[in-house]
Structure 1
Amino acid sequence: MSERGCLIVVSGLPGSGKTLAAKTLETERPGVRFCPDEWMTTLGASLWDGELRARVESLQWTTALQILRAGGTAIIEWGTWGRDERERLRAEAHAVGARTELLYLDVPVDVLWARIEERAMEDPPMKRTDLVEIDDFVQGQRPDEAEHQAFDVVL
Protein backbone atom coordinates (compact mmCIF):
# COMPACT_ATOMS: atom_id res chain seq x y z
CA MET A 1 0.00 0.00 0.00
CA SER A 2 1.31 3.42 -0.87
CA GLU A 3 1.89 6.12 1.72
CA ARG A 4 -0.52 8.44 -0.06
CA GLY A 5 -4.05 7.26 -0.84
CA CYS A 6 -5.55 7.42 -4.30
CA LEU A 7 -9.12 8.22 -5.30
CA ILE A 8 -10.21 6.99 -8.71
CA VAL A 9 -13.50 8.44 -9.96
CA VAL A 10 -15.05 6.29 -12.68
CA SER A 11 -17.64 8.45 -14.39
CA GLY A 12 -20.20 7.72 -17.09
CA LEU A 13 -23.83 7.17 -17.92
CA PRO A 14 -25.71 3.91 -17.28
CA GLY A 15 -24.34 1.23 -19.60
CA SER A 16 -21.05 3.04 -20.21
CA GLY A 17 -18.96 0.26 -18.66
CA LYS A 18 -18.22 1.80 -15.27
CA THR A 19 -18.50 -1.46 -13.34
CA LEU A 20 -16.29 -3.40 -15.74
CA ALA A 21 -13.68 -0.62 -15.73
CA ALA A 22 -13.82 -0.28 -11.93
CA LYS A 23 -13.49 -4.05 -11.41
CA THR A 24 -10.45 -4.05 -13.69
CA LEU A 25 -8.89 -1.16 -11.74
CA GLU A 26 -9.73 -2.92 -8.47
CA THR A 27 -7.62 -5.93 -9.46
CA GLU A 28 -4.81 -3.92 -11.06
CA ARG A 29 -4.22 -1.52 -8.15
CA PRO A 30 -5.55 -3.15 -5.73
CA GLY A 31 -8.31 -1.01 -4.31
CA VAL A 32 -11.75 -0.98 -2.77
CA ARG A 33 -14.57 -0.40 -5.23
CA PHE A 34 -17.76 1.42 -4.29
CA CYS A 35 -20.82 0.70 -6.45
CA PRO A 36 -24.18 1.81 -5.01
CA ASP A 37 -26.13 -0.37 -7.47
CA GLU A 38 -24.52 -3.52 -6.02
CA TRP A 39 -25.19 -2.48 -2.42
CA MET A 40 -28.81 -1.54 -3.21
CA THR A 41 -29.41 -4.80 -5.09
CA THR A 42 -27.98 -6.74 -2.16
CA LEU A 43 -30.38 -4.88 0.14
CA GLY A 44 -33.29 -5.76 -2.15
CA ALA A 45 -33.92 -2.09 -2.87
CA SER A 46 -35.05 -0.40 -6.05
CA LEU A 47 -32.19 1.17 -8.02
CA TRP A 48 -34.55 4.14 -8.53
CA ASP A 49 -34.83 4.87 -4.78
CA GLY A 50 -33.03 8.21 -4.78
CA GLU A 51 -33.21 8.71 -1.02
CA LEU A 52 -31.64 5.33 -0.28
CA ARG A 53 -29.03 5.85 -3.03
CA ALA A 54 -27.98 9.13 -1.40
CA ARG A 55 -27.60 7.39 1.98
CA VAL A 56 -25.64 4.49 0.45
CA GLU A 57 -23.32 6.88 -1.39
CA SER A 58 -22.80 8.90 1.80
CA LEU A 59 -21.83 5.75 3.69
CA GLN A 60 -19.58 4.65 0.84
CA TRP A 61 -17.89 8.07 0.76
CA THR A 62 -17.27 8.05 4.52
CA THR A 63 -15.62 4.63 4.15
CA ALA A 64 -13.67 5.72 1.05
CA LEU A 65 -12.23 8.68 2.97
CA GLN A 66 -11.07 6.31 5.73
CA ILE A 67 -9.35 4.17 3.10
CA LEU A 68 -7.70 7.24 1.55
CA ARG A 69 -6.46 8.47 4.94
CA ALA A 70 -4.95 5.02 5.52
CA GLY A 71 -3.06 5.24 2.22
CA GLY A 72 -5.30 2.89 0.23
CA THR A 73 -7.07 3.20 -3.09
CA ALA A 74 -10.80 3.94 -3.27
CA ILE A 75 -12.63 3.51 -6.57
CA ILE A 76 -15.91 5.40 -6.86
CA GLU A 77 -18.30 4.26 -9.60
CA TRP A 78 -21.38 6.33 -8.91
CA GLY A 79 -21.92 7.78 -12.35
CA THR A 80 -20.81 11.24 -11.18
CA TRP A 81 -22.43 12.88 -14.19
CA GLY A 82 -22.24 16.38 -12.76
CA ARG A 83 -19.03 18.38 -12.70
CA ASP A 84 -19.86 19.70 -9.20
CA GLU A 85 -20.10 16.16 -7.80
CA ARG A 86 -16.76 15.13 -9.35
CA GLU A 87 -15.15 18.31 -8.03
CA ARG A 88 -16.48 17.73 -4.51
CA LEU A 89 -15.04 14.21 -4.46
CA ARG A 90 -11.72 15.41 -5.88
CA ALA A 91 -11.43 18.30 -3.42
CA GLU A 92 -12.33 16.22 -0.36
CA ALA A 93 -9.87 13.50 -1.37
CA HIS A 94 -7.19 16.10 -1.98
CA ALA A 95 -7.92 17.62 1.46
CA VAL A 96 -6.97 14.30 3.12
CA GLY A 97 -3.76 14.12 1.09
CA ALA A 98 -4.90 11.64 -1.58
CA ARG A 99 -3.99 11.65 -5.25
CA THR A 100 -6.96 11.86 -7.60
CA GLU A 101 -7.60 10.17 -10.92
CA LEU A 102 -10.53 10.48 -13.32
CA LEU A 103 -11.76 7.90 -15.80
CA TYR A 104 -14.60 9.33 -17.89
CA LEU A 105 -16.41 6.86 -20.13
CA ASP A 106 -18.08 8.75 -22.97
CA VAL A 107 -20.26 6.30 -24.92
CA PRO A 108 -22.89 7.11 -27.59
CA VAL A 109 -26.55 6.82 -26.50
CA ASP A 110 -27.30 4.02 -29.00
CA VAL A 111 -24.53 1.87 -27.50
CA LEU A 112 -25.63 2.70 -23.95
CA TRP A 113 -29.22 1.76 -24.75
CA ALA A 114 -28.21 -1.56 -26.34
CA ARG A 115 -26.17 -2.45 -23.23
CA ILE A 116 -28.97 -1.45 -20.84
CA GLU A 117 -31.51 -3.55 -22.74
CA GLU A 118 -29.14 -6.52 -22.80
CA ARG A 119 -28.36 -6.48 -19.08
CA ALA A 120 -32.02 -5.86 -18.09
CA MET A 121 -30.89 -4.92 -14.56
CA GLU A 122 -33.04 -1.88 -13.81
CA ASP A 123 -36.32 -2.50 -12.00
CA PRO A 124 -38.48 -0.83 -13.09
CA PRO A 125 -36.85 -0.90 -16.50
CA MET A 126 -35.18 2.26 -17.74
CA LYS A 127 -36.75 3.88 -20.79
CA ARG A 128 -34.74 5.13 -23.74
CA THR A 129 -36.27 8.57 -23.15
CA ASP A 130 -34.80 8.54 -19.59
CA LEU A 131 -31.38 7.87 -21.05
CA VAL A 132 -31.73 10.62 -23.65
CA GLU A 133 -32.76 13.10 -20.93
CA ILE A 134 -29.73 12.16 -18.84
CA ASP A 135 -27.44 12.46 -21.87
CA ASP A 136 -28.89 15.90 -22.64
CA PHE A 137 -28.11 17.00 -19.06
CA VAL A 138 -24.60 15.60 -19.25
CA GLN A 139 -23.76 17.45 -22.49
CA GLY A 140 -22.59 20.50 -20.54
CA GLN A 141 -21.15 18.45 -17.67
CA ARG A 142 -18.52 16.40 -19.51
CA PRO A 143 -15.00 16.98 -18.19
CA ASP A 144 -13.20 19.83 -19.92
CA GLU A 145 -9.52 20.75 -19.93
CA ALA A 146 -9.81 22.72 -16.67
CA GLU A 147 -11.30 19.69 -14.91
CA HIS A 148 -8.63 17.42 -16.38
CA GLN A 149 -5.99 19.77 -14.96
CA ALA A 150 -7.54 19.60 -11.48
CA PHE A 151 -7.09 15.82 -11.28
CA ASP A 152 -3.61 14.38 -10.81
CA VAL A 153 -4.21 11.84 -13.58
CA VAL A 154 -6.86 11.45 -16.29
CA LEU A 155 -7.09 7.85 -17.44
Structure 2
Amino acid sequence: MTTLFLTVGLPGAGKTTRARQLAEEHSALRLTPDEWMLPLFGDPQPAGKRDVLEGRLLWVGLEALKLGTDVILDFGCWSRDERSAIRWLVMSVGASCRLVYVPVDLETQRTRITHRRSTTPDQTFAMSEADLVHWRTQFEEPDATELDGHEVDGHEIGGPPPGWAGWLDWAADRWPSLA
Protein backbone atom coordinates (compact mmCIF):
# COMPACT_ATOMS: atom_id res chain seq x y z
CA MET A 1 0.00 0.00 0.00
CA THR A 2 1.32 3.42 -0.90
CA THR A 3 1.64 6.10 1.75
CA LEU A 4 1.23 9.85 1.80
CA PHE A 5 3.38 11.47 4.49
CA LEU A 6 1.81 14.79 5.49
CA THR A 7 4.12 17.25 7.21
CA VAL A 8 2.38 19.40 9.80
CA GLY A 9 3.84 22.46 11.48
CA LEU A 10 4.47 26.18 11.45
CA PRO A 11 6.98 28.05 9.25
CA GLY A 12 10.53 27.48 10.48
CA ALA A 13 9.68 24.20 12.21
CA GLY A 14 11.86 22.12 9.90
CA LYS A 15 9.09 20.56 7.80
CA THR A 16 10.95 20.81 4.50
CA THR A 17 14.13 19.37 6.01
CA ARG A 18 12.09 16.46 7.39
CA ALA A 19 10.24 16.10 4.06
CA ARG A 20 13.57 15.80 2.23
CA GLN A 21 14.69 13.09 4.67
CA LEU A 22 11.43 11.17 4.22
CA ALA A 23 11.65 11.45 0.44
CA GLU A 24 15.12 9.94 0.49
CA GLU A 25 14.22 7.22 3.02
CA HIS A 26 11.11 6.13 1.11
CA SER A 27 12.10 6.99 -2.49
CA ALA A 28 9.02 9.20 -2.48
CA LEU A 29 7.80 12.13 -4.52
CA ARG A 30 8.16 15.32 -2.46
CA LEU A 31 5.69 18.13 -3.14
CA THR A 32 6.58 21.44 -1.47
CA PRO A 33 4.56 24.52 -2.56
CA ASP A 34 7.22 26.96 -1.32
CA GLU A 35 9.60 25.67 -4.00
CA TRP A 36 7.07 26.36 -6.76
CA MET A 37 5.69 29.79 -5.82
CA LEU A 38 8.61 31.97 -6.92
CA PRO A 39 9.38 30.13 -10.20
CA LEU A 40 5.71 30.08 -11.21
CA PHE A 41 4.52 33.47 -10.00
CA GLY A 42 7.66 35.57 -9.44
CA ASP A 43 6.59 36.13 -5.84
CA PRO A 44 6.89 33.82 -2.84
CA GLN A 45 3.37 34.74 -1.60
CA PRO A 46 1.20 36.08 -4.43
CA ALA A 47 -2.37 36.75 -3.35
CA GLY A 48 -4.75 33.91 -4.10
CA LYS A 49 -2.18 31.62 -5.72
CA ARG A 50 -1.08 29.30 -2.91
CA ASP A 51 -4.42 27.51 -2.55
CA VAL A 52 -4.55 26.94 -6.31
CA LEU A 53 -1.00 25.58 -6.35
CA GLU A 54 -1.63 23.35 -3.32
CA GLY A 55 -4.72 21.95 -5.05
CA ARG A 56 -2.73 20.98 -8.12
CA LEU A 57 0.07 19.47 -6.04
CA LEU A 58 -2.46 17.52 -4.01
CA TRP A 59 -4.00 16.24 -7.26
CA VAL A 60 -0.54 15.18 -8.51
CA GLY A 61 0.11 13.48 -5.17
CA LEU A 62 -3.13 11.49 -5.37
CA GLU A 63 -2.31 10.42 -8.93
CA ALA A 64 1.17 9.31 -7.83
CA LEU A 65 -0.33 7.28 -4.98
CA LYS A 66 -2.63 5.52 -7.45
CA LEU A 67 0.42 4.66 -9.55
CA GLY A 68 2.20 3.10 -6.57
CA THR A 69 4.51 5.96 -5.57
CA ASP A 70 4.78 7.18 -1.99
CA VAL A 71 4.31 10.93 -1.61
CA ILE A 72 5.52 13.56 0.85
CA LEU A 73 3.12 16.50 1.05
CA ASP A 74 5.01 19.40 2.64
CA PHE A 75 2.09 21.80 3.20
CA GLY A 76 2.05 22.61 6.91
CA CYS A 77 -1.68 21.86 7.25
CA TRP A 78 -2.51 24.06 10.21
CA SER A 79 -6.13 22.98 10.61
CA ARG A 80 -7.61 19.65 11.59
CA ASP A 81 -10.13 20.07 8.76
CA GLU A 82 -7.33 20.30 6.19
CA ARG A 83 -5.68 17.21 7.61
CA SER A 84 -8.97 15.29 7.77
CA ALA A 85 -9.82 16.21 4.17
CA ILE A 86 -6.41 15.10 2.94
CA ARG A 87 -6.61 11.84 4.89
CA TRP A 88 -10.07 11.20 3.42
CA LEU A 89 -8.79 11.89 -0.11
CA VAL A 90 -5.80 9.61 0.42
CA MET A 91 -7.99 6.80 1.74
CA SER A 92 -10.36 7.27 -1.23
CA VAL A 93 -7.54 6.27 -3.61
CA GLY A 94 -6.65 3.22 -1.53
CA ALA A 95 -3.52 4.61 0.12
CA SER A 96 -2.56 5.27 3.73
CA CYS A 97 -1.74 8.61 5.31
CA ARG A 98 0.83 9.30 8.00
CA LEU A 99 1.01 12.63 9.80
CA VAL A 100 4.51 13.88 10.49
CA TYR A 101 4.20 16.65 13.06
CA VAL A 102 7.22 18.92 13.41
CA PRO A 103 6.73 21.12 16.49
CA VAL A 104 8.79 24.23 17.11
CA ASP A 105 9.02 26.67 19.99
CA LEU A 106 8.80 30.39 19.21
CA GLU A 107 12.48 31.19 19.89
CA THR A 108 13.75 28.39 17.63
CA GLN A 109 11.25 29.44 14.97
CA ARG A 110 12.50 33.05 15.09
CA THR A 111 16.13 31.92 14.83
CA ARG A 112 15.47 29.63 11.87
CA ILE A 113 13.42 32.21 9.97
CA THR A 114 16.06 34.89 10.54
CA HIS A 115 18.74 32.50 9.27
CA ARG A 116 16.64 31.54 6.24
CA ARG A 117 16.01 35.21 5.35
CA SER A 118 19.72 36.01 5.59
CA THR A 119 21.01 33.00 3.66
CA THR A 120 18.27 32.32 1.08
CA PRO A 121 16.07 35.43 0.84
CA ASP A 122 14.94 34.43 -2.65
CA GLN A 123 13.47 31.17 -1.32
CA THR A 124 11.21 32.50 1.42
CA PHE A 125 8.78 35.26 2.20
CA ALA A 126 8.78 38.00 4.81
CA MET A 127 7.47 37.02 8.24
CA SER A 128 7.12 39.58 11.00
CA GLU A 129 7.11 38.91 14.73
CA ALA A 130 3.39 39.73 14.69
CA ASP A 131 2.88 37.10 11.95
CA LEU A 132 4.65 34.43 14.00
CA VAL A 133 2.59 35.18 17.09
CA HIS A 134 -0.67 35.37 15.14
CA TRP A 135 -0.01 32.13 13.26
CA ARG A 136 0.47 30.30 16.55
CA THR A 137 -3.09 31.28 17.51
CA GLN A 138 -4.39 29.86 14.20
CA PHE A 139 -2.44 26.59 14.32
CA GLU A 140 -4.39 23.55 15.54
CA GLU A 141 -1.85 21.16 17.01
CA PRO A 142 -2.59 17.54 16.08
CA ASP A 143 -3.85 15.47 18.97
CA ALA A 144 -2.85 11.92 19.90
CA THR A 145 -5.65 10.40 17.79
CA GLU A 146 -4.39 12.13 14.66
CA LEU A 147 -0.75 11.33 15.37
CA ASP A 148 -1.14 7.66 16.24
CA GLY A 149 -3.15 6.94 13.11
CA HIS A 150 -6.22 5.48 14.81
CA GLU A 151 -8.39 7.98 13.02
CA VAL A 152 -7.05 6.74 9.69
CA ASP A 153 -6.68 3.00 10.29
CA GLY A 154 -10.07 2.81 11.95
CA HIS A 155 -11.62 4.88 9.16
CA GLU A 156 -12.98 7.20 11.81
CA ILE A 157 -12.37 10.48 10.09
CA GLY A 158 -15.36 12.50 11.15
CA GLY A 159 -17.58 14.30 8.73
CA PRO A 160 -16.75 17.69 7.25
CA PRO A 161 -17.71 20.94 8.94
CA PRO A 162 -21.42 21.85 8.94
CA GLY A 163 -22.73 22.92 5.55
CA TRP A 164 -20.59 20.54 3.51
CA ALA A 165 -21.98 17.39 1.87
CA GLY A 166 -18.64 15.58 2.15
CA TRP A 167 -14.88 15.98 2.42
CA LEU A 168 -14.49 16.09 -1.37
CA ASP A 169 -16.72 19.17 -1.56
CA TRP A 170 -14.89 20.80 1.34
CA ALA A 171 -11.48 20.02 -0.20
CA ALA A 172 -12.49 21.32 -3.65
CA ASP A 173 -13.51 24.62 -2.02
CA ARG A 174 -10.32 24.83 0.06
CA TRP A 175 -8.07 23.90 -2.87
CA PRO A 176 -9.95 25.16 -5.97
CA SER A 177 -7.75 23.39 -8.50
CA LEU A 178 -7.99 19.96 -6.87
CA ALA A 179 -10.55 18.54 -9.29
TM-score, length of structure 2 as denominator length: 0.77
Does 2:9 align with 1:12? yes
Matched positions, count: 146
The answer for the alignment partner of 2:38 in structure 1 is: 41
Higher share of residues assigned strand: 1
Which runs of 5 or more structure 2 residues have no equivalent in the other structure? 154-179
Q: Distance in 1 between matches of 2:47 and 2:101?
A: 23
**Superposition deviation, residue 96 in structure 1:** 0.8
The one-letter amino acid paired with 1:73 is: D
Please tell me whether the aligned partners of residues 22 and 77 of structure 1 are also in contact (alpha carbons under 8 angstroms). yes
SS at match of 1:77: strand
Cα distance, 1:49 vs structure 2: 2.0
Counterpart of 2:144? 145
Moved over 4 A (4+): none
Judged with a 3 Å threshold, the aligned counterparts in structure 2 of structure 1 residues 105 and 49 are, in CA distance, closer, same or farther, namely: same
CA RMSD of aligned residues (A): 1.3
Q: What SS does the corresponding residue of 1:7 show, helix, strand or coil?
A: strand
CA contact (8 A) 1:5 1:72 kept: yes
Give the secondary-structure state (helix, strand or coil) at the position aligned to 1:68.
helix
Match of 1:86 in 2: 83
1:29 aligned onto 2:26 = yes
Residue among 115, 118, 139 paired with 1:118: 115
Bigger Rg, structure 1 or 2: 2
Match of 1:72?
69
Is contact 1:5–1:67 with CA below 8 Å preserved after alignment? no
Residue identity over aligned pairs, in percent, reads 33
Change (3 A) 1:106 1:69: same
CA distance in 1, matches of 2:133, 2:28: 33
TM-score, scaled to structure 1: 0.89
- Match for 2:128: what amino acid? K
